[in-house]
Amino acid sequence: MIRHDDLRYEPHLALALGGGGALGAAHVGVLQVLHERGITPAMVVGTSIGSVIGAAYAAEIDPYELEDLVLNATWGDFGTFSIAPSLGLLNTEGLRASIEAVVGDKLIENLPIRFGAVASDLARGTSVLLDHGPLYPAVAASISVPGIFAPTNLDGHLLLDGGIYENLPLEAAFEMGAHHVIGVRLAPEWDGVPTGRYTSVKVHELEIRSDVTLVSPRLQHRSQWVAKDLPGLILSGREAAERALGDYPVVNPRPAAVVAVPPGVPLQDAVSIEPDADAPVTPADHPSATPEDSDFTEYMTDADADDTAVTAEPEPQPEPAPAPAPAPHAKPLPNADEAQQRGLAAFFRRH
């Protein structure tokens, strides 16, 4: 049953994407579930990696295309080593190139969906909402982790990673005019910096409000600094969003996933198809089943058709000669199952 505050019809719905480094891949899974359940936020605000994914959402990048981009991303897509002396190991020229390649050289106010990036101004001791002007500097400021990226100079202010003061930008979302916020929490607040504990209390007070829907992927024991198991992170985001938004039915089914066929790999092992759950399925042994019923028919080549059309009778094989009797004190040879078990045991002993 749909709640009375149906998020599908909330005109001032915002999406707040938290910081978390490599854990940001989970945001992609959340975006996919929102699309599938017909929930379309009118604005998005992000902190750190959340600003990167949020900018793609605001530019209306397809969430499944975004998955491909994330799975193929490297640290070089965000930063490159800085030769000139600076306050960080990396600069954000890689990020500039990535944004211009995917989104283009756009102003924030010209994006199809309202967008804001949260950065930190240490001189003033507060977070800063960047919701106008060029897109690249705003996102660069939001991801400028101290010591890793050099601070971003924007309008005379040196700005650093937004997570220092607001790792989950709920307050910024309400500042943009949201009436309800879907917040995606990847990592805790930065309690190790001054005012961090106050920030944690303030953000927690927002998280428990009735006008906030919190999505919390289960990411225990995962490092935000190691890009490992990105597909698993995306799945964690999907699962968390489905838990939080389970009241909403699927209105846009997830498209079939088709992967390339590597050389030498059988087609049935390389093509992944997610069938429509509502579509009737004809059993393979049913009298009416035909080759056209196969999910793989459209991928068959002429050579494949020839192979399936003609089946040669197997030539008779001579009977194998009986095995010689073992020597009086020799151990009998192991059968296939015993050999496999011994091989596995030897493998685990070595590893």
- Residue 155 bears catalytic tag: no
Q: CA-CA distances (angstroms) from residue 36 to 64, 147, 280, 334?
A: 11, 39, 22, 54
| Cβ contact 141:46 at 8 Å | no
Where would I find the beta strands (DSSP E) of 178-319? 180-184, 212-215
* The token pair that represents 12 in the structure block: 């001032």
| Cβ contact 89:81 at 8 Å | yes
Euclidean distance between CA atoms 338 and 246, whole angstroms: 48
| Cβ contact 257:274 at 8 Å | yes
Catalytic residue among 51, 120, 127, 161: 161
Q: CA-CA distances (angstroms) from residue 108 to 243, 250, 255?
A: 32, 31, 30
What's the one-letter identity of residue 284? A
| Cβ contact 66:277 at 8 Å | no
Catalytic residue among 48, 120, 127, 142: 48
From the centroid of its chain, how far is CA 338?
43
DSSP 252: S
Euclidean distance between CA atoms 63 and 24, whole angstroms: 14
From the centroid of its chain, how far is CA 171?
24
Write 152-155 long-range contacts (CB < 8 A, 24+). 152/92, 152/119, 154/119, 154/130
- Residue 161 bears catalytic tag: yes
The SS3 of residue 152 is strand
Query: Which amino acids are annotated catalytic?
Result: 48, 161
